[in-house]
Structure 1
Amino acid sequence: MNTHHTQSFLMDDAPLNKFHLRITALTFGSNFSDGYALGIIGMALTLLGTQMNLGPMWNGLLGSSALIGLFIGSLVLGWLSDRIGRQKIFLANFLIIGVASLLQFWVNDPLTLFILRILIGIGLGGDYAVGSTLLAEFSPKKYRGFLLASLCVIWTVGYVISNVVGFYLEKMGPESWRWMLASAAIPAFIVLVLRIGTPESPRWLISMGRKEEAMQIVKKYVSPHAVIEDVTPLDKLPGFRDLFSKRLWRRTTFGSLFYVCNVIPYFAIYTFLPIILSSMGYEESFLIDLLLNGFLLLGGIAGLWLMEKFSRRGFTIYTFAILAITLLPLGIIDNTHKVFLIICFAIFTFVMSAASNLTLVYPAELFPTEIRASGVGLVTAVSRVGSAIGTFLLPVVLNGYGVGVSMIAMTIVLVVGAIVSILWAPETKSLDLDEASNLLYDEGQPL
């Protein structure tokens, strides 16, 4: 008996096994598909825009349709998974994405395409909320940051592959946009099939009072010697209002602002990178663009290692500070110092890519199990609103006020991120996720 007792350990302290790697690989699906879906629509629009006589309004709506869906899906499906479980939503997401992607092949008007793109976004948004939540709830704390952050690198892979696929499909003629958009169904259906049989989150089962089911899953998939900390089920399921309770409002506010301040410069600057480089005096910007994309990929990979070296709080504060310092020169120094400006931009790109890994790690660690998917869904939704606004405003500011004012505005966003992090960023790197459930209680009583 004593031997068995000494061998027992908490699920958070379990060794990494094949199942952890499998659940990570299955969670990659949403990040790959998001990068692919957002990359392929840009290429398809150049062809279907001419064919359907699309004006600027429809181009804008179709370009942002997946972001609108992401907002809805992350909020609604994140909230729903806290009620009916992670596993059902984990499967349903890719059924929605796969079917809607395939149906794009037969569209003949922009409204139908707009609706299908929103549906794809809803599935992707649901998977952002539920996928990272499920992965966080299965991962040992020692490897949780690395596994979650690796998802961010896969987004870039999906985006790059969509460009390669689009480049080759374009040669098939004016109708090739149909094949481009429908091609997103292939990875979606592969992910859907592979996800069949994924177990429910034992932490969610425990929070629902289903301890026996939870323990069976832990023993089967994590380790025969792993145990999960028991928590008292809440009298009523928490809702979005509980995210702003006196115990959680700082985490919710920090998570939302940190995510927004991280993604606004990322989406805005890299969506309009050729225009920005042209404004800096680089008329032939292909090689510079290629160089910066290289730094983007290297930064994402280096960020996996850096996150293990630094605390979550420290890494967040330092990266916001470095990003602000390296972006400011682009706003205040004239174009005669091109070499210095490109060095600053390269450092900014590298650090931005490394820091963006945090957006898939921090939110999942901020919230208790009972409300984790709702919390991740909310901060993801807020971030997508921020990125959509930033992406919309940047070309307007560039056109009206120039690159200098645009970069100063982005620097201010990064400074706000640094201040918010200094004030409110909690340290979650060594957190047992079961401990987070205490945030829903005040002296043993639900808030």
Structure 2
Amino acid sequence: MDKVRTMEEMPLCKFHFKMFAYSGGSAFLDGYVIGIIAVALAVMQRQVDMSLTMVGLIGMATLAGMFVGGMTGGYLTDIIGRKKIFVINMLIIAVVSTLQFFINDPMQLVILRFILGIIIGADFPIAGALMTEFSPSKNRGSLLGGLNGLWYVGYASSYLVGYFMLSFGDTSWRWMLVSSAVPGIIMFIARLKMPESPRWLANKGRAAEANAIVRKIYGKHVVMSKESEVKVKTTFLDIFRNGNGKWTIFVAVFWSLQVIPTFAIGTYIPQILGQFGFANGTKEYLGSAVINIIYLVGLFPFLYLVERYGRRPTLIWPFLVCSISLFALGSTSGLNMSFIFIVALFIIYGVLNTGMGIHQWIYPNELFPTHIRGTAMGFSTGITRITSAVGTLLFPAFLASYGVSATFYVCGGMYFIGFLVALFMAPETKNMSLSQASSINKSSDSQNNSFVQEKTVN
């Protein structure tokens, strides 16, 4: 008789890569939608009369929308399921992206990009929860971390698309904005075939459906887990109770300190390169694309390191290196340094920033139990996007008033604070089951509750 195995004990297979693709659409579109506006804005500003405030509003609208989407979408997916919202989100993204082509006033673009942000923000926690709940424990960090890599794939792709669309002339910025409809349609069709999460079904008292999905995917000798989940009511405030509050604060703080400078610098990177003296022709756009493509190099070693050496060191030390790199950029601005030297500093910063970015997906999905996993991820997404939105709104005015040097000193300071937060707060969850990871450093009552929620699957 074959030995009964759990989902978390199964080796990587074709199904896991399918789920990675379904979930990765969220990160890809997030990166693409945020990236394409950088090139589109640079072109649009030359044709449409806009104040710095309006430019900032357009740049931050998607991030502000993600605050609303993250807060509501994560909670809703814990209540009504992962798949339903996950499918319809992509259809809405395709429709709204297309509508951007027809705007005739900058405020209309602000509204549409805010709506895009809501949908993408709602998609984020579902993607993380699904990938987490289907992943083998030995590969969970790599699979979740890989989702963040797709953010950079989307981001870099947006710059390449924008660069080549510059040849479209005066309407190029419209075509850039509508281009996000294409991946939206592709993901909508693909997600129609995906299953609901067995862990979520069992958590809602639908164990028979959960077991049927597990058997269909893995075979009759595989069960959901040794300690399967029983019905538990989802309450939003649970992310602050039973020992969860510490991790909610930790995730929101370290994630915010990373993405505020990431989004601010990334949204206006063509203008930044221009201030470094590379604004002739289209070099600043090509440079932006090259920089973001090379950033992906940082992802691959971290997918190995996070499983080999753990979560803590792969978060702590990159924060410090990113801080030093940005301080170096600040100190060399105005010195007429070579294009290669400036790009090299950007690459050092970006490679390490990309590498540690995998924890945006790992920690919030591992540290919380199933009944609030989406809620916690959504809350963290919402907080980090609203803080990023404020940073993106203020960035162009700050850059114009104080210059590149001061801007990079401030961003470097944020990364140094992130280094201190990670050093004193980051837990280690390597090779833990979801039950163990969601019980780490919590009260005995909370740990007992996690095991009460889980009984053997028959």
Aligned counterparts of 1:338 and 1:51: Cα–Cα separation in 2: 31
Q: Where does residue 63 of structure 2 map in the other structure?
A: 67
Aligned counterparts of 1:337 and 1:61: Cα–Cα separation in 2: 32
TM-aligned CA deviation for residue 26 of structure 1: 1.2
Aligned counterparts of 1:114 and 1:333: Cα–Cα separation in 2: 35
TM-aligned CA deviation for residue 23 of structure 1: 0.9
Aligned counterparts of 2:297 and 2:20: Cα–Cα separation in 1: 21
1:65 to 1:268, Cα distance in 2 relative to 1, 3 A = closer
TM-aligned CA deviation for residue 92 of structure 1: 1.9
What letter corresponds to residue 349 of structure 1 in structure 2? G
Aligned counterparts of 1:342 and 1:102: Cα–Cα separation in 2: 34
Aligned counterparts of 1:334 and 1:89: Cα–Cα separation in 2: 46
CA deviation vs aligned residue, 1:109-142 (integer Å, no higher than 9, x gap): 3343332222221111111111111111111111
2:175 aligned to which of 152, 176, 179? 179
Matches within 5 A, 1:158-173: 158-173=154-169
RMSD: 3.0
Aligned residues between the structures: 441
1:345 to 1:186, Cα distance in 2 relative to 1, 3 A = closer
Q: Where does residue 304 of structure 2 map in the other structure?
A: 305
1:426 to 1:219, Cα distance in 2 relative to 1, 3 A = same
Does the 8 Å CA contact 1:17/1:222 hold for their aligned counterparts?
Answer: no
Q: Where does residue 385 of structure 1 map in the other structure?
A: 386
Q: Secondary structure of the residue that 1:406 maps to in structure 2?
A: helix
Aligned counterparts of 1:375 and 1:108: Cα–Cα separation in 2: 38
Q: Where does residue 313 of structure 2 map in the other structure?
A: 314
1:272 to 1:169, Cα distance in 2 relative to 1, 3 A = closer
Say whether residues 1:117 and 2:98 are aligned partners. Answer: no
TM-aligned CA deviation for residue 180 of structure 1: 3.0
Aligned counterparts of 2:109 and 2:306: Cα–Cα separation in 1: 40
Q: Where does residue 456 of structure 2 map in the other structure?
A: none
Instruction: Name structure 1 gaps, 5 residues minimum.
Output: none
Matches within 5 A, 1:69-84: 69-84=65-80
CA deviation vs aligned residue, 1:289-327 (integer Å, no higher than 9, x gap): 676445413223333233233210121112222223333
Matches within 5 A, 1:321-332: 321-331=320-330
2:446 aligned to which of 433, 442, 446? 442
Q: Where does residue 153 of structure 2 map in the other structure?
A: 157
Does the 8 Å CA contact 2:93/2:119 hold for their aligned counterparts?
Answer: yes
Q: Which moved more, 1:296-305 or 1:425-434?
A: 296-305
What letter corresponds to residue 302 of structure 1 in structure 2? P
TM-aligned CA deviation for residue 247 of structure 1: 0.7
Does the 8 Å CA contact 1:169/1:176 hold for their aligned counterparts?
Answer: yes
1:238 aligned to which of 235, 238, 262? 235
Aligned counterparts of 1:289 and 1:51: Cα–Cα separation in 2: 22
TM-score by length of 2: 0.86
TM-aligned CA deviation for residue 170 of structure 1: 4.0
Does the 8 Å CA contact 1:28/1:151 hold for their aligned counterparts?
Answer: yes
TM-aligned CA deviation for residue 276 of structure 1: 4.5
Matches within 5 A, 1:223-302: 223-227=219-223, 228=225, 229-234=227-232, 236-239=233-236, 241-277=237-273, 286=284, 292-293=291-292, 295-302=294-301
CA deviation vs aligned residue, 1:181-234 (integer Å, no higher than 9, x gap): 223212111110111132111111121121111111111123432222223423
1:108 to 1:409, Cα distance in 2 relative to 1, 3 A = closer
Does the 8 Å CA contact 1:87/1:198 hold for their aligned counterparts?
Answer: yes
Instruction: Name structure 2 gaps, 5 residues minimum.
Output: 453-458
Say whether residues 1:363 and 2:364 are aligned partners. Answer: yes
Higher relative contact order (CA 8 A, sep 6+): 2
TM-aligned CA deviation for residue 167 of structure 1: 3.7
2:144 aligned to which of 145, 148, 152? 148
Say whether residues 1:410 and 2:414 are aligned partners. Answer: no
Say whether residues 1:424 and 2:428 are aligned partners. Answer: no
Q: Which moved more, 1:396-405 or 1:310-319?
A: 396-405
Matches within 5 A, 1:181-220: 181-220=177-216
Q: Where does residue 43 of structure 1 map in the other structure?
A: 39
Say whether residues 1:29 and 2:33 are aligned partners. Answer: no
TM-aligned CA deviation for residue 331 of structure 1: 4.3
What letter corresponds to residue 38 of structure 2 in structure 1? G
1:182 to 1:324, Cα distance in 2 relative to 1, 3 A = closer
Q: Which moved more, 1:173-182 or 1:193-202?
A: 173-182
Q: Which moved more, 1:281-290 or 1:200-209?
A: 281-290
Q: Where does residue 85 of structure 2 map in the other structure?
A: 89
What letter corresponds to residue 135 of structure 2 in structure 1? S
1:87 to 1:390, Cα distance in 2 relative to 1, 3 A = same
What letter corresponds to residue 237 of structure 1 in structure 2? T
Identity score, percent: 38
Does the 8 Å CA contact 1:255/1:366 hold for their aligned counterparts?
Answer: no
Does the 8 Å CA contact 1:369/1:436 hold for their aligned counterparts?
Answer: no
Does the 8 Å CA contact 1:96/1:123 hold for their aligned counterparts?
Answer: yes
TM-score by length of 1: 0.88
TM-aligned CA deviation for residue 288 of structure 1: 6.8
